[in-house]
Amino acid sequence: MSLLIIAGSSREDSINAVLQQRIAAVATAAGEACHLYAAADLDAPLYQGDYEQENGVPSNIQKLATAINDVTKVIIVSPEYNSSIPPLLKNAIDWSTRLPQNPWQGKTVLLAGAAPGRLGCMRVLTHLNTVMSAVQSWVAPMFLSCANASAESLAEFDQAAIESFIAQGG
């Protein structure tokens, strides 16, 4: 089995990038082959149908699809913006479903996120659950939401949740 961990924030001091690294450390210790996908590599023009007609699907999105196709499971690590999905991530997901082969179809996906607030990322993760179900992935029934998080401390990181996700069949 192998695991792709996608970061949803390209900010330099991103707490979600820290969470991505923390998940990778746990997964690697559990013997999983981990691949990290940087949020900067999700960057693509805002989806627009006429742009698509003229230019096709952007190269970063083709790269993302290849990375997804190459693994058994995916973890998406997303910030929460106004209770919902950051545009960088939503745009990349929308573009990816314009490829001839939807890379998410049948893929097992765990949704994760970190936020400084006491509610963590539960609201964005429920929105992502709707979107990822719509693109026909199998979304794990538990979310990994780290509340009260900072780049220095992911105090509420749930290591057992990652180990459980890895232990389950793909």
Which residue, 1 or 147, has its beta carbon nearer to ligand FNR? 147
Residues 6+ apart with CB under 8 A from 106: 136, 137, 138
Site string for ligand FNR, 10-29 (x = CB under 6 A): -x--xxx-------------
Question: What distance in Å separates the CA atoms of residue 127 and residue 84, rounded to the nearest whole number?
Answer: 6
CB 111 within 8 A of CB 132: yes
Position among 46, 54, 82, 160 found at the interface with ligand FNR (CB under 6 A) = 82
* Residue 9 engages ligand FNR in binding (rule: CB under 6 A): yes
CB of 9 to ligand FNR, least distance (A): 3
Considering only CA atoms, which of 160, 146, 169 is closest in space to residue 15? 146
Window contacting ligand FNR (CB under 6 A); options: 26-34, 42-50, 97-105, 109-117: 109-117
Chain residues that interact with ligand FNR, rule: CB under 6 A: 9, 11, 14-16, 79-83, 115-117
